[in-house]
Amino acid sequence: MRYGLKLVGGLLSCLFALEIAVAGLPQSLGAEALPSLAPMLETTMPSVVNIATSGTVVERSPLFKDPFFQHFFNTPEMQRERRRTGLGSGVILDAEKGYIVTNHHVIEHADDILVTLSDGRKFSAQIVGVDPRADLAVIQIKAKKLSAIPLADSSKLRVGDFVVAIGNPFGLGQTVTSGIVSALGRSGLGIEDYEDFIQTDASINPGNSGGALVNLRGELIGINTAIVGPNGGSVGIGFAIAINMARDITAQLIEFGGVKRGYIGFRVQNISRELAQAFALEDHNGVVVTQVSKGSPAQRAGLRMGDVITGVNQVKVKDATDVRNQIGVSRVGQTLKIDLLRDNKTRRIEAEIIERSVPKRQGEDFVRQLSGAEFALIEEPRRELKGETVILLSAVDENTAAASWGLNQGDIIRAINKITVRDFEQMEAAIATSNRGMLLNIERDKRMLYILIR
């Protein structure tokens, strides 16, 4: 019994001591600094701005887009102007010159751009340069006491790294969300022509576009640009343009107002496991050369069909998108270093990037009914057929024959008289088959239609 009382007394003493220790836990933690992102954000958030845009959009009735309606009824076109506003974010790249990077779609069609800084100051901005194909733009404000953000090397990111997204979601004002890097090198999503996305689960919502994705040191690793989710809401899948790509493009936007993309002259395809076995490769990273254009820089450098490209400019490539992106961010006149495998031996060749000219022809060169139209050969816009060419209506003068038939600038000529055409020689041959009329199959605003020209 005595031993039982001692045991009970001992337990009570222990419990009492534990209660004191637990009660004292918050006091002991209160003397220590709690983990927080606040110090980093205090220096980083002034580099992120809110962007508000407004512009006038001209709306046309769908009936007036129909060439049959235009041709048979000859009704004067009625247009209506509508004021359009938008919200987004941006990141200050150069504090002295006031350069700010954002997404092209944030400032597209904008007549007025208003930038609001984190301290509440507001400034009108001017467009310096845009690159719709990579969805990037640089704007400029005239302001003092700006804070530029330091840039990281996005090639050193790893899946699982902690990241923070800063932007202006839904126009609420500057907002911070956190997450991790979910995936790297995302491409083939159909969002832009040139894609090298960081995927993150940090909440990104409408209005975050153009904002900053930073690491825990407050360094810029990406420009937030897109989300995947129902009704445009965040479900934990967001994408940011890797800063290494954005840095190269914005440098050209500041210098030239656009991106001068060059030409090398070869085509490639991804290496499947079966192809890797056929080429006796250890893995299926890299791409195989399927075509080298005659007289191109690639041919002059010694590139051959069947070569396996493993790296470009000392950056390893795993698929065709990597090669396309490396060429896409390189400048005209720059030497491209291509690492490859040929006959199980490693080689390096160097090819100079040249400016690619766009072949053009005037409509009257083909037939008088097309006078007033200018045609250009461009790269096929459909992602699965990249590398092929198509015939684009690059310009149409009003009050000319081409315009009277309902042809619009931006139309893509897919077929003439039911004959597929992809270059000017095929176009001439198809027109030659015309008897009383010429039937054009065109693509406009991603839909197909026919235009009959008599």
Q: Which residue has the tokens 């927080």?
A: 36
Question: Residue 235 — pLDDT band, cuts 50, 70, 90?
Answer: low
Residue 234 annotated among the catalytic residues of the structure: no
In the predicted model, is pLDDT for residue 71 greater than 60?
Answer: no
pLDDT at residue number 112: 93
Name the catalytic one among 135, 193, 307, 339.
135
Average pLDDT over residues 150-155: 92
Quote the CATH superfamily of domain 262-355: PDZ domain (2.30.42.10)
H helices then E strands: how many in the chain?
11, 28
- Look over the chain and give the mean of its residue pLDDT values, rounded to a whole number: 82
> What are 198's two structure tokens?
């960081």
Average pLDDT over residues 335-360: 88
Chain centre to alpha carbon of residue 386: 16
Give the whole-angstrom CA distance, residue 326 versus residue 391.
Answer: 26
In the predicted model, is pLDDT for residue 164 greater than 70?
Answer: yes
Q: Are 81 and 154 in contact (CB under 8 A)?
A: no
Residue 112, Cβ density class (10 Å: 0-12 exposed, 13-18 middle, ≥19 buried) = exposed
- At 236-282, the pLDDT tens digits run 788 899 999 899 899 999 998 988 777 888 888 888 888 888 877 87
pLDDT at residue number 11: 40
Give the whole-angstrom CA distance, residue 242 versus residue 183.
Answer: 12
Q: Are 287 and 279 in contact (CB under 8 A)?
A: no
Residue 94, Cβ density class (10 Å: 0-12 exposed, 13-18 middle, ≥19 buried) = middle
Question: Residue 76 — pLDDT band, cuts 50, 70, 90?
Answer: low
Judge whether 154-256 and 360-453 match in fold.
no
pLDDT at residue number 116: 94
Strand partners, 176: 166
Parallel, antiparallel or unpaired: strands 175-186 and 197-200: antiparallel
pLDDT at residue number 7: 38
Residue 71 annotated among the catalytic residues of the structure: no
Q: Which residue has the tokens 């150069």?
A: 94
Domain boundaries, the chain: 43-140, 154-256, 262-355, 360-453
Give the whole-angstrom CA distance, residue 140 versus residue 126.
Answer: 5
- At 384-397, the pLDDT tens digits run 555 578 899 988 98
In the predicted model, is pLDDT for residue 14 greater than 70?
Answer: no
In the predicted model, is pLDDT for residue 165 greater than 90?
Answer: yes
Name the catalytic one among 105, 154, 193, 307.
105
pLDDT at residue number 12: 40
Give the whole-angstrom CA distance, residue 454 versus residue 369.
Answer: 8
Average pLDDT over residues 205-223: 91
In the predicted model, is pLDDT for residue 24 greater than 50?
Answer: no
Name the catalytic one among 209, 234, 322, 411.
209
Average pLDDT over residues 163-192: 81
- At 361-370, the pLDDT tens digits run 999 999 988 9
Greater confidence, 83 or 51? Answer: 51
360-453: CATH topology: Pdz3 Domain (2.30.42)
Average pLDDT over residues 229-241: 71
Establish how many alpha carbons lie within 13 A of residue 281's alpha carbon, considering only the half-sphere containing its beta carbon: 23
**pLDDT over 90, % of the chain:** 42
Residue 135 annotated among the catalytic residues of the structure: yes
pLDDT at residue number 383: 53
CATH 3.30.70.1520 fits 154-256, yes or no: no
In the predicted model, is pLDDT for residue 3 greater than 60?
Answer: no
pLDDT at residue number 31: 61
Question: Residue 27 — pLDDT band, cuts 50, 70, 90?
Answer: very low
pLDDT at residue number 267: 86
Greater confidence, 398 or 305? Answer: 305
Q: Are 140 and 125 in contact (CB under 8 A)?
A: yes
In the predicted model, is pLDDT for residue 371 greater than 70?
Answer: yes
**pLDDT over 70, % of the chain:** 82
Please report the DSSP string for 283-306 in residue order.
SS-SEEEEEE-TTSHHHHHT--TT
- At 86-140, the pLDDT tens digits run 899 999 999 999 999 999 999 988 899 999 999 999 999 999 999 888 899 999 9
Question: Residue 72 — pLDDT band, cuts 50, 70, 90?
Answer: low
In the predicted model, is pLDDT for residue 440 greater than 60?
Answer: yes
**Confidence (pTM):** 0.69
Backbone angles phi, psi at 428, to 5 degrees: -60, -45
The CATH number of 43-140 is 2.40.10.120
pLDDT at residue number 321: 80
